[in-house]
């Protein structure tokens, strides 16, 4: 049987219909408008819907019978990221009991970066930079300091691990920037510009030194500790990193190819 029903009002007309189980159901095109007008429903002119009962002002009093929209969450038995990339929309996550997962007190993480200094024993003078090259030195790049680009946090601790145990220890400072400064080379004087200092997060000194392997020189090792630190920071707009420059503040004779590893303990927002 054909879907449509032919009607003959003199010259004939066809009514749209759908044959369902031998019964013809008329097809109707929705329109909207006040009495005496009819506007076809389209993406440009959708069916009007009143949200009066769904929209509630901040601090509006609640009463029985108020309508609302249920907010659904995804059951996540173990914590972890859902699919997608940073910046994507994500549903709320709930445990098996339907309780929303929330983080109290932020996130604590440790970030590190290391450099192997040149294969020489050239002594540092007070104010010299320590890095991996006397001709193409670079800063320490500390990844994932924030949980997302332009993120914030607080540095609560700092360590520098040293692969040697010299009798005269280095007196070190770690200068941290939110934007990478131009690096001075190893054993060259530290020369930050005024504009680079505009991006300075803070300066950390390391007054405490602990000997690990007490073997003298290259056979031993030690750790420089900053003790308790409290330095808030904000990463650059398209960045989750901080950038460090290690400056030596005394006359220090290094070991050839000595390795220095900078670590920060961070409470992320």
Could you read off the pLDDT of 66-105 as tens digits, one per residue?
A: 767 778 888 888 777 777 777 788 888 888 888 887 766 6
Q: The tokens of 139 are what? A: 């800063």
How far is Cα 110 from Cα 236, in angstroms, rounded to an integer? Answer: 19
Q: Is residue 252 part of a domain?
A: yes
Give yes or no: residues 144 and 13 share one domain: no
pLDDT of 213 > 70? The answer is: yes
Q: Is residue 90 part of a domain?
A: no
How far is Cα 110 from Cα 211, in angstroms, rounded to an integer? Answer: 22
Q: Is residue 86 part of a domain?
A: no
Q: Is residue 20 part of a domain?
A: yes
86-98 exposure pattern, b = at least 16 Cβ within 10 A, e = fewer: eeeeeeebbeeee
Q: What are phi and psi of 58, to 5 degrees?
A: -60, 135
* DSSP3 helix / strand / coil % (the chain, rounded to 5): 0, 40, 60
Q: The tokens of 55 are what? A: 């929209």
How far is Cα 191 from Cα 207, in angstroms, rounded to an integer? Answer: 23
Could you read off the pLDDT of 228-260 as tens digits, one per residue?
A: 999 999 999 989 999 999 999 999 999 999 999
What domain range includes position 173? 107-268
| pLDDT score at 167 | 97
Residue 15 DSSP SS3: strand
Could you read off the pLDDT of 101-160 as tens digits, one per residue?
A: 776 666 899 999 999 999 999 999 999 999 999 999 999 999 999 988 999 999 999 999
Q: Is residue 229 part of a domain?
A: yes
Give yes or no: residues 153 and 260 share one domain: yes
| pLDDT score at 4 | 73
Give yes or no: residues 260 and 172 share one domain: yes
Q: Is residue 85 part of a domain?
A: no
| pLDDT score at 185 | 98
Give yes or no: residues 7 and 120 share one domain: no
| pLDDT score at 134 | 97
Count the domains in the chain.
2
pTM (2 decimals)?
A: 0.67
CB 54 within 8 A of CB 68: yes
Average pLDDT, the chain: 90
pLDDT of 1 > 60? The answer is: no
Give yes or no: residues 26 and 128 share one domain: no
How far is Cα 63 from Cα 156, in angstroms, rounded to an integer? Answer: 47
Could you read off the pLDDT of 16-38 as tens digits, one per residue?
A: 888 999 898 888 888 888 888 88
How far is Cα 225 from Cα 158, in angstroms, rounded to an integer? Answer: 6
Q: The tokens of 1 are what? A: 């049987």
Give yes or no: residues 167 and 258 share one domain: yes
């Amino acid at each position: 049987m054909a879907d449509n029903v032919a009607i003959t009002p003199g010259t004939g007309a066809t009514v749209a219909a759908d044959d369902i189980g031998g019964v013809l159901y008329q097809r109707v095109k929705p329109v909207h408008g006040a009495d005496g007008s009819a506007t076809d429903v389209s993406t440009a002119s959708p069916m009007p819907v009143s949200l009066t009962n769904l929209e509630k002002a901040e601090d509006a009093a609640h009463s029985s019978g108020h309508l609302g929209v249920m907010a659904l969450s995804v059951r996540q038995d173990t914590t972890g990221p859902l699919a997608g990339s940073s910046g994507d929309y994500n549903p709320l996550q709930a445990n098996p009991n339907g309780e929303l997962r929330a983080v109290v007190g932020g996130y604590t993480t440790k970030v590190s970066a290391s450099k192997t200094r040149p294969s020489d024993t050239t002594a540092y003078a007070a104010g010299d930079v320590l890095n991996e090259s006397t001709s193409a030195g670079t800063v320490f790049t500390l990844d994932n300091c924030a949980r997302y680009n332009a993120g914030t946090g607080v540095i609560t601790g700092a360590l520098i691990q040293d692969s040697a145990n010299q009798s005269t220890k280095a007196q070190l400072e770690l200068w941290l920037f939110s934007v990478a400064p131009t690096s001075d080379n190893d054993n060259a004087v530290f020369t930050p510009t005024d504009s680079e200092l505009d991006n300075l997060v803070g300066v950390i000194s390391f007054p405490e030194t602990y000997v690990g392997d007490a073997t003298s020189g290259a056979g031993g090792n030690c750790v420089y500790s900053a003790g308790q630190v409290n330095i808030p920071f904000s990463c650059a707009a398209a960045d989750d990193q901080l950038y460090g420059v290690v400056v030596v503040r005394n006359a220090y004779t290094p070991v050839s190819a000595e390795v220095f590893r900078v670590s920060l303990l961070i409470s992320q927002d």
